[in-house]
């Protein structure tokens, strides 16, 4: 795929450059609680603005249902982008209507505008090719050149990600170039030992990537809510812990295949349990109990890996040359259940290998728990996109940039 460096070398002064970013930041009302995704696209926007482009930034935020919804407005993200750029950023209150055209027409070389949430238009996410294509035509009227830099959305066949690049000269931004380079390190000529730590709530979300990694990784460490389906598959009582019983046959098959392939599949040996889920708003003390992973009481819920498992997982990560981590080890949003996730993050910080935090809740945990982002080899902006790339899937947004 052609990169933004090639575009800059050719010159962009005065050109309208459409940047498909990922400004899908978490909001508490109108307050951004984590601006990592905005900061991740800054190098691309700054480079274009400094080269004299008229920069048109577009993104989705949340899941509005194809119509304007103030709760999902991109205005807070646009304001934060302006703060980070140290320059005013125009904001259009629609996607392809009069406000968008006025904002773009008003740009001088080196200035930036953000248009409203792309998902306020049903054509963005439509499964109907013609409807998507029509929306992409209207977006194309706003620009002369397309730069794809919303890595967190490249696994979606959406108008601004998949259809629009085909209508304009198109290039990969700095973020996408970096993300793809990192993922190639995890899939091609991987330095070993290669250790993958997987957590999160549902094992079903990770089945495809586990299937692929059983032929590539040397070790798989399993934590989070998904671990209880593995423990149940081994015949252990898991109480009222998160469980996907319909996935037990697949999990059993994977455990058998891991043993056959010589892949070390490591499960928790102890867990923190409680009879109720913690209050994440008040963060009131939860007073959990630590029990062996094969001795979870029938009326208790597993909510984090225990101290022995933390040490075990740290030891399994210590000699890794390559590490990929996706998914927290427990309910890290509550201080009583954050230690498992902290332990994995700390092991990555201390690792001498190439460490990748696979976006989503893992990236949020790193920032929430106060880790220095620069202590990791790479923190991805796209959890879902990263996983699908590792599964070996073709990502529509990358395919469109490669044409």
d(CA 315, CA 151): 32
Q: Which two tokens stand for residue 99?
A: 């406000």
46 is a catalytic site residue: no
Q: Is 290 left (phi over 0), alpha (psi -120 to 50) or beta?
A: beta
Q: Which residues pair with 20 in a beta bridge?
A: 58, 148
Distance CA 95, CA 164 (A): 14
Per the annotation, binding residues for (2R)-3-phosphoglycerate are 37, 119, 156
Which residue bears the tokens 């905005």? 38
Rounded Cα gap, residues 289 and 303, in angstroms: 10
Q: What are phi and psi of 328, to 5 degrees?
A: -70, 160
Q: Which residues contact 189 (CB under 8 A, 6 or more apart)?
A: none
3-state secondary structure 106-118: CCCCCCEEEECCH
Task: Collect all residues with Cβ–Cβ distance below 8 Å to 237 and sequence separation of at least 6.
Answer: 294, 295, 296, 297, 298
* Catalytic, out of 202, 216, 257, 393: 202
Point out the catalytic residue in the list 152, 306, 384, 397.
Answer: 384
Q: Residues forming the annotated binding site for ATP?
A: 206, 302, 333, 359-362
- Whether omega before 231 lies within 30 degrees of 0, making that bond cis, reads no
Pairing mode of beta strands 27-28, 219-222: unpaired
Q: Is 384 a catalytic residue?
A: yes
Q: Take residue 34 and report the two structure tokens written for it.
A: 């984590």
Q: Three-class SS of residue 402?
A: helix
| Cα distance between residue 350 and residue 328, in whole Å | 18
Instruction: Report the C-alpha gap between 148 and 35 in whole angstroms.
Output: 19
Write the DSSP string, 288-310: -EEEETT---TT-EEEEE-HHHH
Binding-site residues sit at 22-24, 37, 60-63, 119, 156, 206, 302, 333, 359-362
Q: Which of 360, 382, 383, 397 is catalytic?
A: 360
Tokens 């598959």, residue?
233
- Strand, helix or coil for residue 22: coil
Which residues sit in the known binding site for substrate?
A: 22-24, 37, 60-63, 119, 156
Give the active site residue among 15, 37, 310, 316. 37
Dihedral of alpha carbons 268, 252, 200, 213, sign? positive
Catalytic residues: 37, 202, 360, 384
């Amino acid at each position: 795929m052609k990169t933004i460096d090639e575009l800059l070398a050719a010159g962009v002064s005065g050109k309208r450059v459409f940047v498909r970013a990922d400004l899908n930041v978490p909001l508490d009302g109108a307050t951004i609680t984590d601006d990592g995704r905005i900061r991740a696209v800054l190098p691309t926007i700054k480079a274009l603005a400094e080269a004299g482009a008229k920069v048109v930034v577009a993104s989705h935020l949340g899941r509005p249902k194809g119509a304007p919804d103030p709760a999902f407005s991109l205005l807070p993200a646009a304001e934060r982008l302006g703060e980070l750029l140290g320059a005013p950023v125009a904001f259009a209150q629609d996607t392809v209507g009069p406000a968008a055209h006025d904002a773009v027409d008003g740009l001088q070389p080196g200035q930036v505008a953000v248009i409203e949430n792309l998902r306020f238009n049903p054509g963005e996410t439509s499964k109907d090719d013609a409807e998507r294509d029509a929306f992409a035509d209207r977006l194309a009227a706003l620009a002369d050149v397309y730069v794809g830099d919303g890595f967190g959305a490249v696994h979606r066949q959406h108008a601004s990600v998949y259809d629009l690049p085909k209508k304009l000269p198109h290039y990969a931004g700095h973020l996408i170039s970096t993300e793809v380079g990192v993922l190639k390190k995890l899939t091609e000529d991987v330095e070993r030992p290669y250790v993958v730590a997987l957590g999160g709530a549902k094992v079903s979300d990770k089945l495809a990537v586990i299937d692929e990694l059983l032929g590539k990784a040397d070790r798989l460490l399993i934590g989070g809510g998904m671990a209880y389906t593995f423990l149940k598959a081994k015949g252990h009582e898991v109480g009222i812990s998160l469980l996907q019983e319909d996935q037990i046959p697949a999990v059993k098959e994977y455990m058998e295949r891991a043993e056959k392939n010589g892949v070390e599949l490591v499960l928790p040996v102890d867990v923190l349990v409680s009879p109720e889920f913690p209050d994440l708003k008040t963060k009131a003390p939860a007073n959990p109990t630590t029990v062996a992973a094969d001795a979870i009481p029938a009326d208790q819920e597993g909510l984090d890996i225990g101290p022995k498992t933390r040490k075990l997982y740290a030891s399994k990560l210590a000699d890794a040359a390559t590490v990929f981590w996706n998914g927290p080890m427990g309910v890290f949003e509550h201080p009583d259940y954050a230690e498992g996730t902290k332990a994995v993050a700390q092991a990555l910080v201390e690792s001498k290998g190439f460490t990748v935090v696979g976006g989503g809740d893992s990236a949020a945990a790193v920032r929430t728990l106060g880790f220095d982002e620069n202590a990791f080899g790479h923190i991805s902006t796209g959890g879902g996109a990263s996983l699908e790339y590792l599964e070996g899937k073709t990502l529509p947004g990358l395919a469109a940039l490669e044409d």
